[in-house]
Structure 1
């Protein structure tokens, strides 16, 4: 995240206490062993061959700006790029996706049965006669996912083709 907060750790603040200085040192030490790009020689520390590897590369020795204290975090993308960042949490994004899919299905007339708001989960004891066999549960889950996928695909196809509201049939 340093890349998006500042271009240089020295520009954002001066360490006034030893604790702040130690924190900056820990950050530098962590980024020294974090690869900054697919070509970074730091990958060699982890047994991964970087893209465009050369014989002259030394494990952990990268000349990139991301590893220098004065320009800490300039190169490389360790987090989402800022143009795609929206300020939403993962739960917000999930809610947006669910709302989009439900609206798409509703627009083409596919009604979704609502899940009960309160669900009680209990651990199943071995040999419980009220529980179907595991194979049946798995097949039911697979069938449900396939049904959802088919409904979503049908809704996408129905929403992509504009409806014909013409009073006369189209000529061939």
Structure 2
């Protein structure tokens, strides 16, 4: 609409009413009327088989797997359920068919901000504070009504299909895409069904390539470099040049040699031990980073006081 690739950066969070909303900074002088027109014309359709009515009770008899025919069958009649492709073909043949979901943007609030102004600094803080927050931080129920609302949503998520391969399609009389014998109707393991995610498992931080001309891998590399510099600077005890313990050693193949380990390898710990070690390692890293930040803050405060 404006003639160039829009540069944006922002994050998504969950409101207390359990509706996701986003905060984004967009570069360029864009007319507010145009932005609202584009938002009003933006939508996304999901053409899936109908799943507004359960065909099978998740707590009762559900379709069973036929290992000979490699298909799921009705528990009473023994008839094979329509495959995913057959269900999609039925939608195409139905002239009155409607999309299963239509997602649209809600209220859009546009505010102009000039670079270098106080409003710019305030806006940046407002947007970036959500980057460090967990998606569930804002959904802790504060009343009985909110608890009931969250419980209803969590219950509904248990039976809704999350993708073409979701096992919950069996509850609606349709075989999931790439159906296999291990599927359990109403027991999909996808994160979208979990109470802690409440249906939102997408990327929270969204940055266009044009904003910084960097990929996600580039940002991760920058973050690692920042942490290493922070730890080295804190260990040096001053704000001058610090020498790291691994200086002169290149990351990657020069430092490590990799080989595929077997299950019975004596050097490979049991899974639960491996996970506990990884958790302890991450906790140790985080403690070192927090301690480094605190030491640098104390040094900075001391120098400011002396000056």
Q: Please, what TM-score do these two structures have when normalized by structure 1?
A: 0.39
Greater per-residue helix proportion: 1
